[in-house]
A and B are shown apart, each in its own frame.
Chain A
């Protein structure tokens, strides 16, 4: 069966520091991969999605970037964190096809001080 791993679970970082969040998927090949941010425990905002290695689409202009160095690895990064980057970050994967559901990791709670 497929599993998705996301780490760390929580992270406290000072303003201006770099960021690297990692997500890996097991048990499937060539998945679509997604990064979301959730503010205040409610609505989800799609940040990035990827349909293959090295292929990244950005949904909103921001202080963050994403990379997909391997088929089942998706990384969210920042060179200098802002206070507004605080939030709950969720990684997700899906099979190809619009009818396929997305499956989410357990999320990373990021607090910027």
Chain B
């Protein structure tokens, strides 16, 4: 079956530090990949996505590149801010048909805390 593994965390950084949150996946075919962010007490917000190999998703200074050869979709940001403190979820959705079509498989989430 499909699975997503992301670094356990929590990750604690100082403001303006470089961020990497690792995400690897297992899936058949070519899934779509997503990063979601959840701020305290809120629902999940789509941060960025990539739908095919070598695509780079980007938003609000965050980037992730779909690497088929390493089955990875690591999240990066060059300079984090206190306001980036949240839980980050990596997820995949199979593009082919079958019983998993349209369903997201989530990683367990990584808590990021950024200190001033």
B32 at the interface (CB under 8 A from A): yes
Number of interface residues of A (CB under 8 A): 25
* Across-interface contacts of B109 in A (CB, < 8 A): 41-43
How near does chain B come to A45, taking the closest CB pair, in angstroms?
9
Select B43's contact among A32, A98, A101, A107, beta carbons within 8 Å.
A107
A30 at the interface (CB under 8 A from B): no
* Across-interface contacts of A27 in B (CB, < 8 A): none
Instruction: Determine chain B's interface SS by DSSP, over half rule.
Output: loop
Interface residues, chain A, CB within 8 Å of chain B?
Answer: 6, 32, 41-44, 46, 49, 51, 90, 92, 94, 96-107, 109
* Segment at the interface with A among B16-24, B69-77, B86-94: B86-94
Contact size range, B:
20 to 34
A94 to B46, CA, bound (A): 12
* Across-interface contacts of A105 in B (CB, < 8 A): 43
How near does chain B come to A38, taking the closest CB pair, in angstroms?
8
The residue of chain A having its C-beta at the shortest distance from the C-beta of B95 within the complex is A98
A98 to B43, CA, bound (A): 21
- Can you report 29 A-B residue pairs in the complex whose CB atoms are below 8 A from each other? A6-B43, A41-B109, A42-B87, A43-B106, A46-B103, A49-B102, A51-B102, A92-B44, A98-B31, A98-B93, A98-B94, A98-B95, A98-B96, A99-B32, A99-B95, A100-B102, A101-B32, A101-B34, A101-B46, A101-B49, A101-B93, A102-B46, A102-B104, A103-B46, A105-B43, A106-B42, A106-B43, A107-B42, A107-B43
